[in-house]
Amino acid sequence: ATPIAARRAGGVVETADGVAIRLSAIINDPAELKAVDPASFAGIGLMRTEFLVASPADAVDEQRHYDIYRQALEWAGDAPAIVRMLDLGGEKTLPGMGDRKSESFLGLRGIRLLLARPALARAQVRALLRAAVHGDLGVLLPMVTVPDELDAMRTYFEEERADLFRHGVETRMPEIGMMVEVPAAALMLERFSHSAFFSFGTNDLAQYLMAAARDDQSVAALYDAATSAVLRVIAQGVGHAEAMKKPIGICGEMASDPRHIPALMAAGLRHFSVAPNRVTDIRSTIGGFYSDGRAAAEMK
Ligand code: PEP
Ligand code: MG
């Protein structure tokens, strides 16, 4: 995708020692594109697409997907827009599809569900291929656990692209990257050298590291105690990504919490996708710390 030199000054902040940190927006709903000023961000770091599928019919409505991805790319201008493929299952069950047991947090969710339901995946893939013509599109695959899943989805992109070409439809191959939110993938990131970029999903990484469901209040204290384990996994993953010369960032909620920013910088992260309403706080926090996480002297 686009190099760190994002063309939007507002999306790049400097630490107290002058290291550039890129801030991208998390978009959960297309309505936010109207409310959020793109000048404050280096594009979109995570656009969730689950909002698109209130019903099974919507899920395969290629044109509906396309229109919204195009809007996202237009919002981002010449900065990257990273759209995540449907992350259904877990707590996000699609009405009328599947059963809650097989789509649990440890079951058929994210890319597993997409590969099990090719019609669903292919409609989204076609819309993404068509939309990619309108900007700098990155596609994020959710819940990737083993390299084969990435290969299988890439094959869908290649097949659908060939089909669209035969029908005279203009497309472009987007960069395809992966969420890093399953511990096995996070610990063995070097196996995913065919991923164009990486983004830590700490909301899920925390629940899987702690064996404590993110939506279960009775284990909330354990979930909240995940921070040090998560940071250790992040630091290792950043090392692997750097060795592979691949961009790596974070789009979990940790990055939208100023209290975690110094430790995330110390773990080596330089690209944060944040909730738009937190960006002002995050920006001032970054300015008050060195890139190794130490507070700059005389902070007020
Ligand atoms: C995550 O898991 O951290 C993440 C960003 O994705 P979601 O919260 O949608 O699962
Ligand atoms: Mg997740």
- Please tell me the residue having the least CA distance from ligand 1 atom 6: 201
In the predicted model, is pLDDT for residue 102 greater than 80? no
Q: Is the pLDDT of residue 94 over 70?
A: no
Buried b (16+ CB within 10 A) or exposed e, 108-122: bbbbbbbbebeebbb
- The single-letter DSSP state of residue 15 is -
- Rounded to the nearest angstrom, the distance between the alpha carbon of 181 and the centre of ligand 2 is 6
The helix (run of H) or strand (run of E) holding residue 176 is strand 175-180
Query: How far, in Å, CA of 268 to CA of 151, rounded?
Result: 28
CA of 143 to the centre of ligand 1 (A): 9
Nearest ligand, CA 46 = 1
CA of 143 to the centre of ligand 2 (A): 7
Q: Which ligand is nearest to the CA of 82?
A: 1
Judge contact between 140 and 178, C-beta under 8 A: yes
DSSP bridge pairs for 177: 140
State which of 28, 48, 181, 264 you would mutate to test the pocket of ligand 1, scoring each by most atoms of that ligand within 8 A of its C-beta. 181
Q: Which atom in ligand 1 lies closest to the alpha carbon of residue 204? A: 2
pLDDT digits (tens, 9 = 90+) for 13-28: 999 999 999 999 999 9
**pLDDT given for residue 57 in this prediction:** 83
pLDDT in tens, 216-257: 999 999 999 999 999 999 999 999 999 999 999 999 999 999
- pLDDT category at 152 given cuts 50, 70, 90 is very high
Closest ligand 1 atom number to CA of residue 48: 9
Q: Which amino acid is at 106?
A: L
Q: Ligand 1 center to residue 274 CA distance, Å? A: 12
Q: Are 134 and 128 in contact (CB under 8 A)?
A: no
| Closest C-alpha to 24, from 193, 199, 206 | 199
Just list the catalytic residues: 251
- Residues 254-294: pLDDT tens digits? 999 999 999 999 999 999 999 999 999 999 999 999 999 99
Closest ligand 1 atom number to CA of residue 199? 5
Q: What is the pLDDT of residue 90?
A: 78
252 lines ligand 1 (CB under 6 A): yes
> Distance between CA atoms of 118 and 98, rounded to whole angstroms?
14
Say yes or no: ipTM exceeds 0.95. Answer: yes
Residue at 270: amino acid letter: R
The DSSP line for 115-169 is HH-HHHHHHHHHHHHHHGGGSEEEEEETT--SHHHHHHHHHHHHHHHHHHHHTT-
**Among candidate residues 194, 147, 174, the one with its CA nearest the CA of residue 44:** 174
pLDDT digits (tens, 9 = 90+) for 175-190: 999 999 999 999 999 9
- Pair 241, 215: CB distance under 8 Å: no
φ/ψ of residue 250, rounded to 5: -140, 140
Q: Which residues, 6+ apart, have CB-to-CB distance to 251 below 8 Å?
A: 26, 45, 46, 179, 199, 200, 201, 273
Using a cut of 0.80, tell me whether the model's pTM lies above it. Answer: yes
pLDDT at 9 over 90: no
- pLDDT at position 59, please? 82
Residue 128 has pLDDT above 80, yes or no: yes
Coil/strand/helix, residue 200: strand
Q: Which residues of 171-188 are buried (b: 16+ CB within 10 A; e: fewer)?
A: beebbbbbbbbbbebbee
- Banded model confidence at residue 48, pLDDT cuts 50, 70, 90: very high
3-state secondary structure (DSSP) of residue 191: helix
Cβ atoms of 79 and 2 within 8 Å: the answer is yes
